[in-house]
Amino acid sequence: MKDQALWLFCGLLLACASVPAHAQVGYDRPGGDYTSAPSRTADPAQCAARCERDSRCRAWAFSYPMTENVNAICWLKSRVMPRAAASCCVSGVRGAGIIDLNAGPIEFAIDRSGGDYRHFELPPDPSGKSCQAACESEEACRAWTYLRPGYLGPSAVCYLKNRITRPLRKPCCVSGVVR
């Protein structure tokens, strides 16, 4: 009996180790959908919360506006499907929520409003690195914000800033500070 319990415990540990610890920016989980709905807030955290409240939900995927659809879409899944790289999306497993990837120079889901001295359209870039590179190449630039396409218009926009402003949580944006 003890051996059976030990094997069961080891199996559970192994199964848990294969599940990601947090939501994954830049990944989709194709398949397993049982419902989808437009996201009024266009915030992937709301999609994760919706999954938490639904007992059928095992995983979720969120597509930003203007990537696969005009609106942001939240997909709830009855199975945990393997993740697949997709710049359109953020996905996760029930119980993991979203951990913002703001530990480095790129601040996901952060807007730094104000201080703009120049802005321009650029091709969609879910990482925001093209906007970061533009800021780093200009002496006057101290911070930047990349606005995802579909939040204020059909194009992605890079805002270069001559001062560092307060970070605000907004799913529309990716920002950073140049030191």
pLDDT tens by residue, 111-136 = 999 999 999 999 988 788 999 999 99
CATH number of the domain within which 35 lies: 3.50.4.10
pTM: 0.62
Whether 59 is in a domain gets the answer yes
Does residue 16 fall inside a structural domain?
Answer: no
The answer to whether 128 touches 146, Cβ cutoff 8 Å, is yes
Q: Kindly state whether residues 74 and 32 are assigned to the same domain.
A: yes
Specify the 3-state DSSP secondary structure of 26.
strand
User: Token pair of 8, please?
Assistant: 């069961």
Residue 85 structural domain:
21-93
Query: Considering 93, 124, 145, which residue would you say is the last residue of a domain?
Result: 93
Query: Phi, psi (5° rounding) for residue 103?
Result: -80, -15
Write out pLDDT tens, residues 54-100: 999 999 999 888 766 778 899 999 999 998 988 788 899 988 766 55
Collect all residues with Cβ–Cβ distance below 8 Å to 84 and sequence separation of at least 6: 27, 28, 29, 30
In a domain, 101, yes or no: no
| 88 in the same domain as 25 | yes
The answer to whether residues 112 and 164 belong to one domain is yes
